[in-house]
Structure 1
Amino acid sequence: MKVEKIVTPFNGYLVIFLLIATAGLLAYAISDQQIILIIACIPIFIILAKGLIIVSPNSSKVLLLFGKYKGSIKHNGMFWINPLYTRFSYSLRARNFESEKIKVNDKMGNPILISVILVWRVKDTFKVAFEVDNYTTFIKIQTDSAVRKLAGSFPYDHFEDETATITLSTNFDDVNISLEKELAERLDIAGIEVIESRIGYLAYAPEIAHSMLRRQQASAVVAARHKIVEGAVGMVESALKLLADKKIIEFDDDRKAAMVSNLMVVLCGDSETKPVINTGTLNQ
């Protein structure tokens, strides 16, 4: 398999001086009606002019001679090449590609919507020109394929797989590294360098988004309740110990149970508690 060959053609500015000299000589021949000189100058002028090319910064030219690859020009400036060369231009600038939002299944089988942002540029002009038919279409299809593989490799979050070390919604750096590696391997055949790739959009599919939101809210409520109860038990324990140490009041088991019940209701209740004034004895 052939590889990219960088060539540096003849300096084009020197050819400009030759063009000017040829044009002057042609004008003299016309004015002096020297047919032979005119016939000699015209093809020379055409050959010199046709071989001039300009390569802009971060651009390249791929050169073919009757279907045979002769090399690539990546230097910027004005050059002169064989006028019989066929030339193809390719930009070497970095470009963005944002994939469409596609519906795929994560590792647990849940439908999700995902898209990626890819920053890429042409690295090997030979592969871009001859290894693939249309490199922009190739990039789009391979990116979609890599996204589907990525989504199927990890769960969306820890609610679905509590033992997962990497999830799509939390471990962005690890997921992006995995995506970048996958895309780099797929696009290398087309001579494309992956500069950066990251997830641009991630969400549950509409048909399960509401259910998943309710599940997350329920999990958050349970976690909050657990924390509240844990704190309330500590407060009740401290209150009973403080009352006992200061000998403010003596509690039997029934009174302790009643006090614990009341304190837990006050500390763990959702609504504001309303005090009740007891005008009788403590046993009432």
Structure 2
Amino acid sequence: MTHAAADTSTSAPIGDSEFDRDTAVTPRADQPGVYDAELSAGWTIISAVNGGYLLALVGRALSAALPHPDPFTVSAHYLSASVPGPAVIRTEVVRSGRTLSTGQASLLQYDPETGAEIERIRVLASYGDLDALPDDVRTTALPPAIPAYEHCLGAEAGPAPIPGSTAIVDRLRLRLDPATAGWAVGAPSGKGDMRAWFELADGRDADPLSLLLAVDALPPTAFDLGLVGWAPTVELTTHIRRRPAPGPLRVSITTRNLAGGFLEEDAEIWDSADHLVAQSRQLARAPR
């Protein structure tokens, strides 16, 4: 049975938080649908920029480019590792309908040696208005059974990280379910599960764009399988089901199959009102 989380911080208003500043995009006046962005070093794992952060940043550009405000389904292919620094996002409106609009976007960075553009991530997404959806819910899904917030484990409970290797940890407030945190002390369960409470460190309440970050913010389930190392995302599809209620989120991720050097991660995100607000599946390379 889940329990309400402790009130741990003062909430930062949406639009005035570190996440909003670091996912800001600036439209080019002379190039419609093209946006400039700065990939922050604060969202890196080792030297690569986190895939969920990239998805949220591209998602913000698509929110500006499309006639509908909210991501409903976002599918991303990660083509090369992004690095902190300038980036450009090129968007295209594929179709604009009454209740859904579809667009695509590519995030690119410049090669400092050649000056050529390198595509980092390509996204196809459908957007709508979450506030216009009907209230009818018929589901067999249940919130994950995570212990109370104060009984879960923060970053301070694990081994000391390599300095500068996990900058994203400082941007988040993660509390891991002890049942899925044995890998941190050399005792993985072997089940391929990861569960945690999730908040942004500055207390900003979740919205649809930050859900795109949350689906890829926990440690890889490969750690619980006893495989430690970088597990880069190949493809990630996220469904946003409703606008989350204020308060911390519960994230549950499961891997059922690792084969041929690849594994899937199936994620569910639940809000403080026990609503299923997002689901995702990603394919990742297993750590070598």
Q: Does TM, scored on the shorter chain, surpass 0.5?
A: no
Larger Rg, first or second structure (1 or 2): 1
Q: Larger % of strand: which?
A: 2
- TM-score class normalised by the smaller sequence: under 0.3
Normalised TM-score (structure 2): 0.21
Normalised TM-score (structure 1): 0.22
Q: Larger % of helix: which?
A: 1
Higher relative contact order (CA 8 A, sep 6+): 2
